[in-house]
Amino acid sequence: MTTATTNPNPYRWRLRLIALAALAPIAGVAAAASPKFSVELVGGRIKGDDTLKVRQGDQVQVSVVSDQPLVLHLHGYDIETKVAPPAPALLAFKADLAGRFPVHEHRHGPGNHRAVMFIEVHP
Ligand SMILES: [Cu+2]
């Protein structure tokens, strides 16, 4: 006398595992990127494009060289970075806030508070 055994189809489980494995790379794409920029300031003015574009959530790194000492102030995020030539300075932050933010230069004396570049954080 034989007992009937339930026979769960092993192929069905295998197919589910394949489906999960296929989804994993898609989840990876949504992870935050780490964009890196290099900018050069001459006389407090940027050479090239004055707008850096990143995505919200990115870990952003901006390497800055300048021919004169100054302090960069990223408004909105309220981050200050001192630039002391000839060493490059690093402005690093996590782009949590979306929007267009000016980076000011702060130097001693009047009239030295103006935007040298902009950082656009796109949602
Ligand atoms: Cu400022």
CATH number of 36-122: 2.60.40.420
For residue 103, the CA-to-ligand 1 centroid distance in Å is 7
For residue 84, the CA-to-ligand 1 centroid distance in Å is 18
For residue 71, the CA-to-ligand 1 centroid distance in Å is 9
Complete DSSP assignment for 72-122 = EEETTTTEEEEE-TTS-EEEEEE--S-EEEEEEEE-SSTT-EEEEEEEEEE
Give 71-123 pLDDT, tens digit per residue: 999 999 999 999 999 999 999 999 999 999 999 998 766 666 789 999 999 99
50's enclosing H/E stretch is none
For residue 31, the CA-to-ligand 1 centroid distance in Å is 31
What is the spatial distance between Cα 47 and Cα 39, in angstroms, rounded to a whole number? Answer: 7
What are 119's two structure tokens? 């950082």
DSSP structural state of residue 52: E
Give 26-42 pLDDT, tens digit per residue: 444 556 799 999 999 99
Q: CB-hemisphere CA count at 13 Å for 90? A: 7
What is the spatial distance between Cα 77 and Cα 91, in angstroms, rounded to a whole number? Answer: 11
For residue 80, the CA-to-ligand 1 centroid distance in Å is 9
Please tell me the pTM assigned to this model.
0.72
For residue 120, the CA-to-ligand 1 centroid distance in Å is 16
123's enclosing H/E stretch is none
The arrangement of strands across the sheet holding 113-122 comes to 51-55, 113-122, 99-106, 70-74, 79-83
